Amino acid sequence: MDAHIREATEQDLGVILAIYRDAGIETCGKPSLESARKAFQRMASYPDYKVYVAEMDGRVCGTYALLIMDNLANGGASSGVVEDVAVLRSFQGKGIGKAMMQAAIRACKDSGCYKMTLSSNATRSGAHKFYESLGFVLHGFSYRVDLPL
């Protein structure tokens, strides 16, 4: 059975947080359902920032966020940024991650994006191989600064 990708709803937030924990996604502490709900509502006010879930066998088993943003450079062409890609460990290796990334790429193409980027923790070599198998190439450097909350 193939994965079905759909836009997440507020009712999905509990399982999305569980998927992050199961997949070992960095979450800056343990977010509560209430803090996730507030963030989800803020994200809904952005024109092109959405969270998606993958379902297989009637169960939500994967998630990612996609931001499509306008740019002043590159002739004003938009670009896409994928974040928080996660699949339950018990569902990994079944094509769910691939289906999610293909859906994100299609959404970016449909929006006229000239590129789609993502970042991955330097220690996640398995994830890097997965992204490379989908045609992603190492591009530049990623930097961060931690800010007090």
Which uninterrupted H or E stretch holds 133?
Answer: helix 125-133
How far is Cα 26 from Cα 77, in angstroms, rounded to an integer? 30
125-149 confidence digits (pLDDT tens): 888 999 999 999 998 888 889 888 6
Please tell me the total count of domains within the chain. Answer: 1
Asked whether the beta carbons of 4 and 101 are under 8 A apart, the reply is no
What number of residues does the chain have? 149
**CATH, residue 116:** 3.40.630.30
The pTM for the full model equals 0.91
pLDDT at 29 > cutoff 80: no
Residue among 25, 33, 117, 137 nearest 68 (CA): 117
pLDDT at 21 > cutoff 70: yes
Q: Which domain holds residue 77?
A: 4-133
Q: Has residue 60 been placed in a domain?
A: yes
Per DSSP, which regions of the chain are E strands?
4-7, 49-56, 59-69, 79-87, 115-118
Asked whether the beta carbons of 49 and 66 are under 8 A apart, the reply is yes
Q: Has residue 112 been placed in a domain?
A: yes
Which uninterrupted H or E stretch holds 6?
Answer: strand 4-7
pLDDT at 28 > cutoff 80: no
Residue 26 is predicted with a pLDDT of 66
pLDDT at 110 > cutoff 80: yes
Q: Has residue 34 been placed in a domain?
A: yes
Q: Has residue 56 been placed in a domain?
A: yes
Q: Has residue 108 been placed in a domain?
A: yes
51-98 confidence digits (pLDDT tens): 999 999 999 999 999 999 999 998 999 999 999 999 999 999 999 999
